[in-house]
Each structure stands twice: as C-alpha cells, then as structure tokens.
Amino acid sequence: MDAAPTRRHITHSLLQTAATLGLLRFALAGNALANTVRPLTECWAEDVVTLARDFRQRSLSPLQWQQAIAILNAKVPMDELLSYIDFNRLKAMLEAHGPGEHFERVRLPGLETGSARIWSAVFILSEGDAIPPHAHNNLATAHLVLQGRFHARTFDRVEDTPGRMLLKPSMDAVFGVGETVSMSDDRDNAHWFIAESGAPVFTFDVSMRSPELRQYQNPTDRDGRIFVAPADGRRQDGLVEAEVVDYSTSQNRFGKAANFLMYR
Ligand SMILES: [Fe+2]
C-alpha cells in the first residue's frame, strides 16, 4: 500500500506536472511552427516569390500572374497568417492613424528575396472611405482581404492618351476575407475601392514592378498612381471616358463610399 503523499510530495509533483506542461506547450509551439507557420512562410511565401520571378522573366504574362496569385492566396490559412504577422498590433497601429488609407510594410520569411523586388504590406481602408479611381504603369498588385469587405470596381485600360484614358468596365464585386483582388497592365489596371459593411478593410498586399510591356502617355504621381475621373455613364460601345485629374480633385469627387455607390 502506498504511503499517503506528503505536502512536499504533492508540491514536487505539481511542479513536475507544471514543468511537463511547460515543455509540452513548448513542444506544441515547436510543432505549430514546424507544421503550420513554416509551410505558410516556406511554401506560400516562396511560391509568391517564384510567381514573381516567373512574371519578371516573362514566363508568366501579367494576366497569368493575376490568376496564379489568386489561386495561391486562396490556400493560405488565414488564422495562421493573421497570427504570424502580429495582425492585432498592426491593426491598432493603423487604426490610430485615423480615417483614410494607410499601410505598414510587412516582411514575411520567404518574401525577403530582394531580386524578386516584391513589396508586401498590411493596408487599411477606413469604413466609409474610398480609394478613388486610379491606374498604374507597369505594376502588378494583389490585395488579400484579411478583415472586412472590399468592394472593387475595376476597368481595363484600353486606350491611353495624354490627359485621358478609355476604360472598359471589367468587374464590380465585393471581396471578403481570404479572397484576392489583383490588378496589372493586362487586366483591372484602373480600379476604385471602398470599405463596405460598417467596418474598416484590412488587406495583405503584394506588389511588384512589371516588365515594361507597354508604353504609356500618362505618367504616375510619386506614389505610382494616375488618378482619373470616369464619366458618369458609358459610351454606346460600353467604354467609359476618363479624364486624368490630380489627387485633391479625385479625393473630393470620389473619396467617399457614398460617391462610389451613386456612380453608375
Ligand atoms: Fe492601385
């Protein structure tokens, strides 16, 4: 028959259990890194880099890159991504900036390959705000929605003359958590976004310079954007005339979700 445990034995036993639990937690954390975070960083991020290299080496067209990054991003386990990039800390920091759009550069392991020339960031668009319609020259970007609902209206840029563009409406859709909206010189080059549904939108963005496949007549501003004012209504052929405008004009006319929702 075993002797009744003394207080010292109990205390010792509890300490052993606590130590074992501590080790177990440590081991589980190690496994979590090995089995969940590492695949995210070593597989997903490496695949993002591989796609970028293929794109820059012209093995992928801009359109093919857009299709591939959307498929790749759909496989990312969102909970792991959010914990890995310390989303709560970034969220508080970005929300503290106040209304409008803000971003913070984020580097994930595997996305550190300088030769791929990828920029990655967490981006916020405040509730009720819009990113006015704008285009880019030789740039490709993918926004993976982390939180909120991102309403995107996009246009293909079919003609580019000094001070003007001719746009073909290509998409009017809402993107939720885990979905990706992308743009390139091939498709959705001009775009206009709002944060929908009473909450800010957070996205994880991957951007990179494209091979210079096209020559454009309209230069970008220092942030790489060309703001445009689309005509309210389409031509008979379905295209939309758009005038190049400065940032403040664009912000005044299109900088709120209400403008976006009224426009057709
Ligand atoms: Fe853009």
Residue-wise pLDDT for 192-249, tens only, equals 999 987 789 999 999 999 888 889 999 999 889 999 999 988 999 999 999 999 999 9
Burial environment of residue 24 by CB neighbours within 10 A (0 to 12, 13 to 18, 19 or more): exposed
Two structure tokens written together for 46: 């490496």
How confident is the model at residue 176, as a pLDDT? 95
Task: Please say whether the beta carbons of 130 and 192 come within 8 A.
Answer: yes
How confident is the model at residue 116, as a pLDDT? 52
Residues 6+ apart with CB under 8 A from 118: 48, 49, 52, 111, 206, 207, 208
Give me ligand 1 centre to Cα 193, in Å: 9
How confident is the model at residue 32, as a pLDDT? 39
How confident is the model at residue 49, as a pLDDT? 87
Average pLDDT score, the chain: 82
Q: Residue 63's CB: how many other CB atoms inside 10 A? A: 15
The CA-atom distances, in angstroms, between 57 and each of 50, 61, 122 are: 10, 9, 27
Give me ligand 1 centre to Cα 18, in Å: 52
How confident is the model at residue 33, as a pLDDT? 40
Give me ligand 1 centre to Cα 135, in Å: 6
Give me ligand 1 centre to Cα 151, in Å: 13
- Decide which of 257 and 122 is more confident: 122
Give me ligand 1 centre to Cα 17, in Å: 55
Give me ligand 1 centre to Cα 226, in Å: 9
Q: How confident is the model at residue 190 (pLDDT cuts 50, 70, 90)?
A: very high
Q: Give the length of the chain.
A: 264
Give me ligand 1 centre to Cα 171, in Å: 14
How confident is the model at residue 96, as a pLDDT? 92
pLDDT value at 90 more than 60: yes
Give me ligand 1 centre to Cα 262, in Å: 21
Over residues 177-184, the mean pLDDT reads 96
Residues 6+ apart with CB under 8 A from 193: 125, 130, 131, 150, 151, 152, 153, 181, 201
| Residue from 231, 223, 227, 259 nearest 246 by CA | 227
Give me ligand 1 centre to Cα 82, in Å: 23
Give me ligand 1 centre to Cα 195, in Å: 15
Give me ligand 1 centre to Cα 113, in Å: 23
Give me ligand 1 centre to Cα 101, in Å: 12
Q: What percent of the chain has pLDDT over 90?
A: 55
Give me ligand 1 centre to Cα 46, in Å: 24
Give me ligand 1 centre to Cα 134, in Å: 6
Give me ligand 1 centre to Cα 50, in Å: 23
- Decide which of 35 and 253 is more confident: 253
Give me ligand 1 centre to Cα 2, in Å: 74
Classify domain 34-262 at the CATH class level.
mainly beta
Lowest mean pLDDT among 9-13, 123-127, 231-235: 9-13
Two structure tokens written together for 115: 């030769």
List b or e across 30-58, with b for residues whose CB sees 16 or more CB atoms inside 10 angstroms. Answer: eeeeeeebebbbeebbebbbebbbebbee
Give me ligand 1 centre to Cα 76, in Å: 23
Q: What percent of the chain has pLDDT over 70?
A: 81
